[in-house]
Structure 1
Amino acid sequence: MSGRSETINVRMEKPKRQRISKFTYKKNEKWILGSIIPLFLLLVWEIAGRAGVIEAHLLPAPTKIVQEIFEMGAAGTLLGHVGTTLYRVAVGFLLGTLAAVLLGSAVGYFSVMEKLMDPLVQAFRSIPSLAWVPLFILWMGIGESSKVTLIAVGVFFPVYLNIVSGIQGVDRKLIEVGKIYGFTSAETLRKIILPASLPSFLVGLRSGLGLGWMFVVAAEIMGASKGLGYLLVVGQNTYSPELVIASIFLFAIIGKITDSLLKGLEKKSLSWQDSLSNQR
């Protein structure tokens, strides 16, 4: 009897382990599939570097770049540079998003504000990012204020555009339903307009964060003494391609992590939608 019960338990546990294995794979499927091409490219790059197809003084092998990152970590300088860049991006992102939410909501909701403000905002949006650098240095010097302001400017425009587009794209029939139920303006805004425009707003946040990471490079060229952008300049001046590419790698990794956090927030916030992404 004891042997039979053990056999039954083994048979019952086997499908259970298979279900757990399938669930684990399904949960990590995005990361598993998403890492195939990058790992393949890194492998090809490493083989080409070791075979001498790629000149090491122009494009070092991935192992050399990883070694450079570990050496900075062991020396205690890596965390300082990464932390400084993260701080600048975070503060600039928050300030840019706050300004975009306030102005974008007013422009999207009130037609008078759109006629007054939108032409000016669109004109400013056409100005290249680097054109702001000398002006901000003149106004605020080369300290943190000018760097954070430049990042906030980069974040502002995509968030603003998506908020305005999201609010103005709300189905008019939904507004009419709110009027039938006697919603006040505040209730219409809270129960109809904000949920309906949320998808566009969240896309704007991700776009703004991506531009924030781009603008921080320009910001840290403005006389910085710390940060990943500063390491790019140091690598260029000392002719250290491994330092330059290590900085680029760190930008890519940290940028991807922060974007994944926003994407997770987007998925949770929009779980009520009957969309294709929620069915996957």
Structure 2
Amino acid sequence: MTTTTLGTAAPVAVAAPTPRRRRRGLAPGKRLPAARLAGPLLLLVLWAAASAAGRLDPGAIPAPWTVLGTGARLWTDGTLPTDVLTSLERAAYGFAIGLTAGVVLALASGLSRTGEALIDGTVQLNRAIPVLGLIPLFILWLGIGETFKIAIIAIVVYIPIYLNTHAALSGIDHRFVELAEVQGLSRLQFVRQIVIPGALPGFFVGLRLGVTGSWLGLVVLEQINATSGLGYMMFQAQNYGQSDVILVGLLIYGVFGLVSDSAVRLIERRVLSWRRTLSN
């Protein structure tokens, strides 16, 4: 404590300023650049180290450089580009159909009691049935060509998109609905200003699950009466005991899944930049 004198007045005691104690931050902190690559790179380093040390059986789990060489050889031969393009085409068609169906059904069910009564129970029933168990029935209905593969992928995609979008629509605070009614918004304005912003977070969660599901379904479907595709390549490699070719296919599937999920997350951050969450 210090004292000061003003003119002839008696000394006045002035308290010294106390240092402000910094509060402990509870947020995760700043986003690290390329943080999602740290885990895969760590696994790759451990795989390479174990292979170099002779801890892994080369016949069961070849070294990373062996898999890389096999992938380069398949690409040079021209078989790998054809298989990759075929898989991408199947996944794209199925994903587009599933995305459209999931969004349309979620809007019809979430914005109308009649739609919910007609749609939601059917989707929940479809959700309870193992999708891969529908393959024999779809082969009888659609044949064993490309159509049934795309249909199965569409089902795998539309279910998570519908569930998460419908849940987001149902979770919109009713006070926003009352506010829209007071403001005299039309049905179209209500959907554009209230429904869509409120449902977008859930939609993106379903979109990420749908993107991943399209790749998971594809790897199984391409082993059924297929003549090209990554799944077909892996199935043929299994018959000849080529574990390096199988790992090439698995790594490509993993890269496709990681890239597509990262793309959806990037779009989500841009579209939902107005939200303040732990992730941003």
TM range (shorter): 0.7 to 0.9
Contact 1:68–1:246 under 8 Å retained in 2: yes
The match for 1:266 is 268
Secondary structure of residue in 2 paired with 1:55: coil
Return 5+ residue gaps in structure 2 as ranges: 1-29
Deviation of the 1:166 alpha carbon = 1.1
Aligned partner of 2:21 in structure 1 is: none
Distance 2:270 2:53 in 1: 47
Matched ranges for 1:52-71 at <5 A: 52-71=54-73
CA offsets per residue over residues 58-99 of structure 1, 9 Å max, x none? Answer: 111111111111111111122111111111111101101111
Which of 169, 181, 192 pairs up with 2:183?
Answer: 181
Correspondent of 1:30 among 28, 33, 36: 33
Structure 2: which amino acid aligns with 1:125?
Answer: R
- Which amino acid in 2 is paired with 1:209? V
Q: Distance in 2 between matches of 1:105 and 1:195?
A: 13
Question: How far did residue 206 of structure 1 move?
Answer: 0.8
2:198 paired with 1:196: yes
Structure 2 length normalisation: TM-score? Answer: 0.86
| Cα distance in 2 for residues equivalent to 1:241 and 1:132 | 29
Structure 1 vs Structure 2 CA RMSD: 1.5
Cα separation, partners in 2 of 1:259 and 1:34, compared to 1, 3 Å: closer
Return 5+ residue gaps in structure 1 as ranges: 1-25
Partner of 1:165: 167
Q: Deviations over 1:30-70 (max 9, x none)?
A: 31x33333333222222322332211111111111111111
Quick one: distance in 2 between partners of 1:214 and 1:127? 17
- Taking every aligned residue pair, what percent have the same amino acid on both sides? 36
Whether 1:85 and 2:87 are equivalent positions in the alignment is yes
Deviation at 1:274, TM superposition (A): 2.6
Q: Do the aligned partners of residues 56 and 160 (structure 1) sit closer, same or farther apart at CA in structure 2, a change above 3 Å counting?
A: same
Count of residues paired in the alignment = 251
Distance in 1, Cα, partners of 2:91 & 2:154: 8
**Mean alpha-carbon deviation: is it higher for 149-158 or for 109-118?**
109-118
Is the Cα–Cα contact under 8 Å of residues 165 and 200 in structure 1 kept in the other structure?
yes
Larger CA Rg, structure 1 vs 2: 2
Letter in 2 for 1:56: P
TM-score by length of 1: 0.86
CA distance in 2, matches of 1:164, 1:106: 9
Equivalent AA in structure 1 for residue 122 of structure 2: L
